[in-house]
Structure 1
Amino acid sequence: MSHSNFLHYVLSNSVTGDIQSVINAIDKFSKTNGMMHVGEVKGEILEKQVKNQRPKTVLELGTYYGYSALRIASHLPKDALFITVEISKEAAKIAYEILKQAGISDRVHIVVGSTESVIPQIKDYHSISSFDFIFIDHSKDVYLRDLKLLERHNLIASGTMIVADNVIFPGAPDYLEYIRNNPKYSSKIYDVVLEFPARVPDGVEVSVRN
């Protein structure tokens, strides 16, 4: 899949300033082009959690092209603080254009860099004590590392909701073992079936800090 083709398609098939229109365009594009994002089914699960939590401070680890950021932002108040971290400069540029098309580029702060380097610096740049909602959807082998990093820097507090994608496929077994056996968290998994690359079982883990 060409990055430019994706961007051109979304910009040409969505209404400027309309978040749902942009989401719909990405969903339509994804039906014929495998996309590495949360997708429609899990996107609805994500939105449900955001609506239930009603967060004012949000952190996303793994922006990619901004699809999940659109889903999250569509249910946030305009004064919410939303930070999303993306290691790829190219992906971050496309995400910015997507968010701009949706009319929310001023409400979502894209930080380019590794989560390992960004997380310890968050409090230096933002007036924040902790996050109400955290969405994890980047490299599966660092889910646990980054969760512990967030804990170490006191960015997780009582009531913080953490939603982790792809915990079954490709899988984050060490993350699941840690969070499910930690008395500080209450967790629930939402079982889903991936359409791409094939119909394989996956899951979204939703955890709340007690």
Structure 2
Amino acid sequence: MSRDFREALLNYVLKNSHPGDASSVINTIDEYGWTQQALMNIGDRKGKILDAALQSRQPKTAMIVADNIIYPGAPDYVNYVRNNPHYTSTFHQSILEYNKNIRDGVEVSIRQ
């Protein structure tokens, strides 16, 4: 994700969302993905499909697959799931697909 892209998204969110309203921020990011530049997120339309699929299975636990935890990094998330007794987490090391010199990884966490 380029710096210009991140700045454009941030500026769009600051201009079009309601400060302090997390739902407004999420909806504005989704709107940006539909109207400005494609984003790889679930959003309201695909979210309904995903919700229905999950609810039909009636899961007893939750699995979180977090990518890019080293680059650009997600230290707060990693610290939380690795130190929370309700989660069992496994780190899977990888490299960036567009630069073999940059290490990255995926953290798979299952809530017990």
1:27 and 1:16 map into 2 onto residues whose CA distance is 16
Deviation at 1:16, TM superposition (A): 2.1
Percent of residue pairs identical? 28
2:69 counterpart (86, 89, 95): 86
Is the contact made by 2:9 and 2:32 (CA closer than 8 Å) also made in structure 1?
Answer: yes
Q: Which amino acid aligns with 1:88?
A: Y
Is the contact made by 2:30 and 2:41 (CA closer than 8 Å) also made in structure 1?
Answer: no
Alignment RMSD (CA, Å): 4.2
In the alignment, structure 2 segments of 5+ residues that lack a partner are: 90-95, 97-105
1:110 counterpart (43, 54, 77): 77
2:49 counterpart (45, 48, 55): 45
SS class of match (1:2): helix
Deviation at 1:11, TM superposition (A): 2.0
Q: Normalising by structure 2, what TM-score?
A: 0.50
SS class of match (1:31): helix
Equivalences, count: 90
Post-superposition CA distance 1:83-131 (Å, at most 9, x none): xx634327x5xxxxxxxxxxxxxxxx5339xxxxxxxxx54x2222559
Deviation at 1:14, TM superposition (A): 0.8
1:128 counterpart (70, 74, 86): 86
2:78 and 2:88 map into 1 onto residues whose CA distance is 17
Residue of structure 2 equivalent to 1:36: 40
Q: Which amino acid aligns with 2:66?
A: L
Post-superposition CA distance 1:122-142 (Å, at most 9, x none): 54x2222559xxxxxxx9xxx
2:70 and 2:25 map into 1 onto residues whose CA distance is 23
Deviation at 1:42, TM superposition (A): 1.9
Higher relative contact order (CA 8 A, sep 6+): 2
Q: Which amino acid aligns with 1:29?
A: Y
SS class of match (2:39): coil
SS class of match (2:29): helix
Question: Which structure is higher in helix share?
Answer: 2
Q: Which amino acid aligns with 1:36?
A: M
Q: Do the aligned partners of residues 53 and 61 (structure 1) sit closer, same or farther apart at CA in structure 2, a change above 3 Å counting? A: farther
2:85 and 2:15 map into 1 onto residues whose CA distance is 37
Q: Do the aligned partners of residues 156 and 2 (structure 1) sit closer, same or farther apart at CA in structure 2, a change above 3 Å counting? A: closer
Q: Do the aligned partners of residues 17 and 156 (structure 1) sit closer, same or farther apart at CA in structure 2, a change above 3 Å counting? A: closer
Q: Do the aligned partners of residues 13 and 47 (structure 1) sit closer, same or farther apart at CA in structure 2, a change above 3 Å counting? A: farther
